[in-house]
């Protein structure tokens, strides 16, 4: 038996080398430096940082807020994708282009614009009976804003591939519209939807620029973890900043890995067709 | 009883269905036969409630179907490309129609499992209940689609080009099997096809359609032997189309003189099937221009006097016995010549 299998595209070792080299330069080395720095910390320093009420509160907001924002984006992003795919209407191309704006807009601009809108005397803020800007709610609004494109852009192409014959088949078999959506359409687009939601989540966890304008940054209440890192750096508390960064990294990585595993399991179940 | 009366449907400027009336008797297997664009799939979709007619009515067992939504019609629909739910296993696909039922109609889990097992047995897929559609062959997928449609005990089974995406051998087997299934289960079925052989082999009744209209309805033998229009004759197999002149009820077609009592004097059209032409090696009605060996038969391209062409198909044995070759003069007989008035 031949040990070496023939590949269609040559240069496996060269491309793998390039991939790893590139990833190292851009992603792995900076992260390794971070972990190296953290490795110098004593157990007591870790414990102090991780039990600090202010740190814990910032984590709750960053991860909890990001989760809420990602879920809201999941629901409304799906709706937007649905409308864009299923219904031809005038101006559809224009709306389609708007979707990507949060990608392009400097986050500070987004933050300032959202603050102006949701401030107690802003256009939207004055209509609401409760405060949005300068509260955790404001942070979540900013997180939703920057996460919009992810779900729409991942679900759109998959939704385009969902054959209308599937819906017709379900109708012939006696399914109502709701049943057809829940049992036929949603499962077919679930992997893409999940990817979109996890991307939106990851983006929101790391978001800094827009949130610091709108959230008010009250320590323990509306302060996000990335801001706390910056604050600690400004106070020359490199150890504290590193610990928070490491922890954010670990939690994010674990969550994204879990989502990836879920996707893989789902793909295998579908026989590699999704 | 399914009653279709004066159905019409337009897509933009295109007449998909134009005053179509049809009656489908319970227990029959009916073929809608026609080229693409003839409206046959549109008719099928209207029967299922997936499309709506602009005019006319469909009655399902006396009930006006326009008041019934697709899901209340209890029709089984089998799509050309199967339309299986790929995130569901074979068994889940088949059970779908039972699981979505509500209230007292909903069978218990045990009943569902039981019925799914019986249906999978029926379509000979018992061992594959746990597989996903992506793990099945085309023929197997089509059988799953059929089992899924049958699970809801449809009043009417509709099949849209059911064998169109399958290769020749599988298609042949499935055809025979579908006919058997139809008879065993006492179904009423309508299937769409553009393949005349499929329609003639499978159906009790063939509805030939063209350009949104019904050309002829009849048993396979009936429409083959007595085609009502030139279109039907040509669509049901190869045909030689020849100019004819009718005088006093006799049509002159090339050198043939055939009775044509119902046709007015003047120009007319005559059709002869290639295999119904007989070759006489001693005559001189035509010249063989070219010959092609097609397995057990030989196709002869014939040059008739006056510039007309015709094709004849004879078996290999006769071909060898008669010693035919290109350039040779032959006499032509015809077992059947069909004459239509000029359009």
Using alpha carbons, list the distances in angstroms from residue A259 to A9, A195, A252, A262, A266: 30, 8, 11, 5, 11
CA distance B16 to B40: 9
Domain CATH code at residue A76? 1.10.3720.10
Residue B69 has pLDDT above 90, yes or no: no
Q: How many CB atoms within 10 Å of residue B305?
A: 11
Q: What is the pLDDT of residues A199-228, one digit of tens each?
A: 999 999 999 999 999 988 888 888 999 999
Q: What is the pLDDT of residues A133-168, one digit of tens each?
A: 888 999 999 999 999 999 999 999 999 888 889 999
Interface test with B, best of A170, A172, A190, A194 (most B CBs within 10 A): A172
CB-based contact, A166 to chain B, within 8 Å: yes
Closest by alpha carbon to B209, among A64, B199, B335, B77?
A: B199
Q: Which residues of A touch B83 (CB under 8 A)?
A: 163, 165-166, 168-169
Chain A neighbors of B96, CB-CB under 8 A: 170, 173, 175, 183
Contact assignment for A172 to B50 by CB distance below 8 Å:
yes
* Chain A positions in Cβ-Cβ contact with residue B49 (cut-off 8 Å): 171
Name the nearest CA neighbour of B22 among B51, B2, B45.
B2
Residues of B in contact with A272 (CB under 8 A): 134
Which pLDDT belongs to residue B15?
A: 87
Q: Is B79 on the interface with A (CB under 8 A)?
A: yes
Distance of alpha carbon B88 from the chain centroid = 32
Q: Please, which residues have CB within 8 angstroms of residue A100's CB and are 6 or more apart in sequence?
A: A149, A153
Residues of A in contact with B100 (CB under 8 A): 170, 173-176, 179, 183
| Nearest-Cα residue of chain B relative to residue A184 | B85
How far apart, in whole angstroms, are the C-alpha atoms of residue A32 and residue A30?
A: 5
List CB contacts (< 8 A) between A188 and chain B: 85-87
Residue B95: band (very low, low, confident or very high) from pLDDT cuts 50, 70, 90? very high
Question: What helix, strand, coil percent values describe chain A, rounded to 5?
Answer: 75, 0, 25
- Which pLDDT score is estimated for A6? 66
Q: Averaged over B108-127, what is the pLDDT? A: 91
Other CB atoms within 10 A of residue A218 CB: 12
Average pLDDT over residues B196-216: 93
B127 DSSP assignment? G
A7 domain residue, yes or no? no
Residue A249 and residue A31 in contact, taking contact as beta carbons nearer than 8 Å? yes
Q: Is A113 part of any domain?
A: yes
A237 inside domain: no
Q: Does residue B151 contact residue B95 with C-beta atoms inside 8 Å? A: yes
When scoring B100, B115, B132 by the number of chain A Cβ atoms within 10 A, the one with the most, hence best to mutate, is B100
Q: Is the pLDDT of residue A263 over 90?
A: no
Instruction: Give the confidence band of A7 by pLDDT, cuts at 50, 70, 90.
Output: low
Partner-chain contact B100 A165, CB within 8 Å? no
Residues in chain B: 343
Mean residue pLDDT of chain B comes to 90
The answer to which of A74-83, A260-269, B32-41, B112-121 has the lowest mean pLDDT is A260-269
pLDDT recorded at residue A267 = 73
Which residue among B71, B76, B133 places its CB closest to the CB of A175? B71
The alpha carbon of residue B29 and the mean position of all alpha carbons in its chain are separated, in whole angstroms, by 11
Contact A270 B83 (CB under 8 A): no
Query: Do B50 and A174 make contact, defined as CB atoms within 8 angstroms?
Result: no
Which residues in chain A touch residue B76, judged by CB atoms under 8 angstroms apart? Answer: 172
* Chain A (170-199) residues lying within 8 Å, Cβ to Cβ, of chain B: 170-176, 179, 183-184, 187-188
Whether B180 shows a pLDDT value over 70: the answer reads yes
B5-29 confidence digits (pLDDT tens): 999 999 888 889 999 999 999 999 9
pLDDT mean over B63-67: 84
A100 touches chain B (CB under 8 A): no
Length of chain A: 274
pLDDT range class, residue A261, cuts 50, 70, 90: confident
Asked if A173's CB is within 8 angstroms of B152's CB, the reply is yes
User: How close does chain A come to B333, measured CA to CA in Å?
Assistant: 52
Q: Indicate yes or no: CB of A173 within 8 angstroms of CB of B151.
A: yes
Nearest to B71 among A174, A184, A188 (CB): A174
* Residue in the structure block whose two tokens are 């979109």: A196
Separation of CA A41 from chain center: 30
- B136-151, pLDDT tens digit by residue? 998 899 999 999 999 9
Q: Smallest Cα–Cα separation from A148: which of A92, A88, A213, A104?
A: A104
Q: Which string of DSSP letters, residue by residue, matches B215-227?
A: EEEE-HHHHHHS-
- Rounded (10°) CA dihedral B60, B63, B67, B72: -60
CA of A270: which chain B residue's CA is closest?
B87
Domain membership flag for residue A136:
yes
Q: What's the confidence (pLDDT) of residue A271?
A: 54
User: Which residues on B lie below 8 Å from A175 (Cβ)?
Assistant: 71, 96-97, 100
Q: Considering the domain boundaries, does residue A236 fall inside one?
A: no
Closest to A201 in 3D by CA, of A23, A68, A101: A68
Residue A45 has a pLDDT of 84
Measure in Å the smallest separation between the Cα of A193 and chain B Cα atoms. 15
Residue A268 lies in a domain: no
Residue B97 has pLDDT above 80, yes or no: yes
Residues of B in contact with A185 (CB under 8 A): none
> Considering chain A, what is the average pLDDT of its residues?
88
CB-CB: which of A163, A174, A176 is closest to B83?
A163
How confident is the model at residue A272, as a pLDDT? 47
Strand B75-78 relative to strand B156-160: parallel, antiparallel, unpaired?
parallel
Residue A165: list chain B partners with CB under 8 A: 79, 81, 83
A24, part of any domain: no
Do A79 and A159 form a contact (C-beta atoms < 8 A)?
no
Closest CA to A199 of A150, A249, A255, A252: A150
Region B175-192: mean pLDDT is 90
Residue ranges making up the domain that contains A165 = 59-223
What is the tally of structural domains in chain A? 1
Q: Exposed e or buried b for every residue in B41-51, given b needs 16+ CB within 10 A? A: bbbbbbbbbbb
> Could you tell me which chain B residue has the CA closest to the CA of A189?
B87
Residue A162 lies in a domain: yes
Q: Does the complex come out with an ipTM higher than 0.85?
A: no
Chain A residue numbers with beta carbons less than 8 Å from the beta carbon of B46 are: none
| Residue A182 predicted with pLDDT over 60 | yes
Contact A111, A214 (CB under 8 A): yes
State whether B83 and A168 contact (CB < 8 Å).
yes
């Amino acid at each position: 038996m031949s040990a070496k299998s023939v590949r269609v595209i040559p240069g496996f070792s060269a491309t793998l080398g390039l991939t790893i080299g590139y990833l190292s330069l851009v992603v792995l080395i900076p992260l390794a430096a971070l972990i190296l720095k953290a490795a110098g910390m004593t157990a007591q320093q870790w414990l102090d940082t991780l039990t600090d009420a202010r740190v814990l509160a910032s984590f709750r907001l960053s991860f909890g807020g990001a989760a809420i924002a990602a879920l809201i984006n999941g629901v409304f992003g799906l709706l937007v994708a649905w409308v864009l795919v299923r219904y031809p209407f005038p101006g559809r191309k224009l709306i389609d282009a708007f979707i990507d704006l949060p990608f392009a807009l400097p986050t500070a601009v987004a933050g300032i614009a959202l603050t102006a809108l949701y401030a107690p005397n802003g256009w939207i803020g004055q209509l609401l009976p409760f405060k949005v800007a300068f509260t955790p709610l404001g942070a979540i609004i900013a997180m939703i804003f920057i996460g919009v494109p992810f779900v729409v852009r991942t679900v759109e192409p998959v939704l385009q591939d969902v054959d209308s014959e599937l819906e017709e088949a379900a109708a012939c078999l006696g399914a109502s519209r709701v049943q057809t959506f829940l049992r036929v359409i949603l499962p077919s687009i679930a992997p893409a939807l999940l990817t979109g939601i996890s991307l939106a989540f990851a983006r929101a966890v790391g978001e800094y620029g827009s949130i610091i304008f709108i959230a008010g940054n009250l320590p323990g209440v509306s302060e996000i973890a990335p801001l706390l890192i910056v604050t600690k750096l400004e106070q020359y508390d490199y150890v504290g900043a590193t610990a928070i960064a490491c922890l954010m990294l670990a939690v994010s990585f674990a969550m994204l890995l879990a989502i990836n595993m879920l996707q893989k399991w789902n793909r295998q179940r579908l026989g590699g067709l999704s | 009883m399914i009653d279709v009366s004066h159905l019409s449907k337009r897509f933009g400027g295109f007449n998909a269905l134009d005053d179509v009336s049809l009656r489908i008797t319970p227990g029959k297997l009916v073929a809608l036969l026609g080229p693409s664009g003839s409206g046959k799939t549109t008719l099928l979709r209207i029967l299922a409630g997936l499309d709506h007619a602009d005019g006319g009515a469909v009655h399902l067992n006396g009930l006006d179907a326009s008041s019934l939504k697709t899901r209340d019609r209890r029709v089984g629909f089998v799509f050309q490309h199967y339309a299986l739910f790929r995130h569901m296993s074979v068994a889940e696909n088949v059970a779908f129609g039972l699981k979505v039922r509500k209230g007292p109609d909903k069978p218990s889990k045990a009943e569902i499992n039981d019925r799914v097992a019986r249906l999978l047995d029926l379509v000979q897929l018992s061992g594959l209940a746990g597989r996903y559609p992506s793990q099945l062959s085309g023929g197997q997928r089509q059988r799953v689609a059929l089992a899924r449609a049958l699970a809801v005990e449809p009043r009417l089974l509709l099949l849209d080009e059911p064998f169109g995406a399958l290769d020749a051998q599988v298609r042949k087997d499935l055809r025979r099997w579908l006919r058997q299934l139809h008879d065993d289960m006492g179904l009423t079925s309508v299937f769409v096809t553009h393949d005349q052989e499929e329609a003639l082999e499978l159906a009790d009744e063939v509805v030939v359609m063209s350009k949104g209209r019904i050309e002829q309805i009849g048993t396979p033998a009936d429409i083959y032997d007595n085609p009502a229009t030139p279109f039907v004759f040509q669509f049901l197999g190869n045909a030689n189309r020849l100019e004819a002149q009718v005088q006093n009820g006799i049509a002159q077609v090339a050198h043939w003189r055939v009775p044509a009592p119902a046709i007015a004097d003047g120009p007319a059209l005559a059709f002869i099937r290639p295999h119904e032409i007989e070759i006489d090696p001693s005559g001189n009605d035509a010249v063989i221009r070219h010959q092609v060996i097609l397995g057990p038969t030989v196709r002869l391209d014939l040059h008739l006097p006056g510039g007309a062409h015709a094709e004849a198909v004879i078996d290999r044995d006769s071909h060898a016995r008669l010693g035919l070759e290109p350039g040779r003069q032959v006499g032509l007989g015809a077992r059947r010549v069909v004459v239509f008035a000029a359009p």
